[in-house]
Amino acid sequence: MSNTHPELFHRHKLNPILMAANWPYPVNTVFNPGATLLADGTTLLLCRVEDRRGQSHLCAARSANGVDGWQIDPQPTLRPDPEHFPEEIWGVEDPRITYLPELSRYAIVYTAFTHDGPGVALATTEDFHRFERYGIIMPPEDKDATLLPHRIDDRWALIHRPVSSPRAHIWISYSPDLRHWGSHTLMLEARRGGWWDANKIGLSPPPIETPEGWLVIYHGVRQTAAGSIYRLGLALFDLKAPEICLKRGAEWVFGPEEPYEQRGDVGYVVFPCGYTVLPDGDTIHLYYGAADTSIALATGSIRAILEWLDQNH
Ligand code: BMA
């Protein structure tokens, strides 16, 4: 184990890059955005927006460079639709976007806030204007979910985080058609005791597909006398059998340090739901919610992250 604290992720100097004050309509907070690059190179963030009732919807923001000059949809882009999907009664949250080449569509896996807690819902879209909703695909309590971009053997794969005991782990499930899910398998367990990722973990952005495996950035929730601290750690999974963990970092690699990460509606939270890979194929833009209040950007190098994981697992 190395003694030096790794600087794997670098905060952008313009952070936070998006706030409630930037929104074209009145909102409480904007955070936890899904992210993707559109075909023309535009960065699209699908932001979780909390209104002043306390309920969330999703709103798209687009930028040519992924840093500034954001064009924000003038109205909510994906609203809860409890009339047709009653599980969305208290809002939709925390989208993760995966482009599915087989369908030529983007999949958006998000949290539906049901009467019985969070569940996992799916919608697909070609253009982030019109959406096809699949409804709930994992019943509550479940969240922190994403699709992998292509089938593994013949089946789609969904990573998610069910809660059925005091400890909450990351699971993977498989489906022939995106609607019927089975072969539920434990993928990564929360550690116990004094670890930074003891008792409760969850996927953060969708896994990054690399020649060495699926690179997963996950969050660990440390319970303290003062509240929770959300930090990020790293793990690598087998490309052909993504339930097999090849490496898991011992230390967390990114945590709430800046004032905008430590103070807000929920302090001491960094919570990425998406990233983009720049044209060099190595640099990532990691977009994260800061303190459930604003959106921030950190950059990193996939190669450097894999090297660190190789030396620190
Ligand atoms: C988690 C998620 C996130 C949120 C975080 C901190 O459980 O629901 O949406 O950012 O809590 O409040």
Ligand 1 center from residue 66 Cα (angstroms): 24
pLDDT in tens, 147-181: 999 999 999 999 999 998 889 999 999 999 999 99
* Atom of ligand 1 minimally distant from the CA of 266: 12
Question: Is the Cβ atom of 292 under 6 angstroms away from ligand 1?
Answer: yes
Is the predicted pLDDT of residue 4 greater than 70, yes or no? Answer: no
Say yes or no: CB of residue 271 within 6 Å of ligand 1.
yes
Least confident of 109-113, 163-167, 223-227, 260-264: 163-167
What one-character DSSP code corresponds to residue 269? B
**What are the residue boundaries of the structural domains of the chain, listed by start?**
14-311
pLDDT at 93 over 60: yes
- Using a pLDDT cut of 90, give the percent of the chain over it: 97
Angle formed at CA 167 by CA 229 and CA 150, multiple of 5 degrees: 90
Q: How far is CA 290 from each of CA 71, 124, 286, rounded to the nearest angstrom?
A: 20, 27, 12
Instruction: Give the contacts of 283 (CB within 8 A, at least 6 positions apart).
Output: 277, 299, 300, 301, 302
Nearest ligand 1 atom, CA 228: 6
pLDDT confidence tier of residue 312, bands split at 50, 70 and 90: very high
| Contact call for residues 79 and 85 (beta carbons, < 8 A) | no
| Residue 142 Cβ < 6 Å to ligand 1 | no
Burial class (CB in 10 A: 0-12, 13-18, 19+), 227: exposed
Helix, strand, coil percentages in the chain from 3-state DSSP, rounded to 5? 5, 50, 40
Which residue among 266, 287, 293, 295 has the greatest number of ligand 1 atoms within 8 angstroms of its CB, and so is best to mutate?
266
Residue having the nearest C-alpha atom to atom 2 of ligand 1? 94
pLDDT at 165: 85
Scored b (16 or more CB within 10 A) or e, 87-122 reads bbebbbbbbbbbbbeeeebbbbbbbbbbeeebbbbb
CATH architecture of 14-311: 5 Propeller (2.115)
Q: CA-CA distances (angstroms) from residue 85 to 13, 60, 68, 73, 96?
A: 41, 21, 35, 23, 19
